[in-house]
Amino acid sequence: MLNQIVLVGRLTRDIVVNKSDNGTKVATISLAIPRSFKNAEGTYDTDFVDCTAFDMVAENTSEYCVKGDIVGVKGRVQSKLVEKDDKKENVLQVICEKVTFLSSKSKEEESE
34 pLDDT exceeds 80?
yes
63: phi then psi, degrees, rounded to nearest 5: -75, -40
Q: What does the domain layout of the chain look like in residue ranges?
A: 5-37+44-105
Q: What is the CATH number assigned to the segment(s) 5-37+44-105?
A: 2.40.50.140
96 pLDDT exceeds 70?
yes
111 pLDDT exceeds 80?
no
**Going by C-beta distance under 8 Å and a sequence separation of 6 or more, which residues neighbour residue 96?**
29, 51, 52, 53, 54, 57, 58, 61, 73, 74, 75
The confidence score (pLDDT) of residue 32 equals 97
Predicted confidence (pLDDT) per residue in 37-83, tens digit: 999 999 999 999 999 999 999 999 999 999 999 999 999 999 999 89
pTM: 0.82
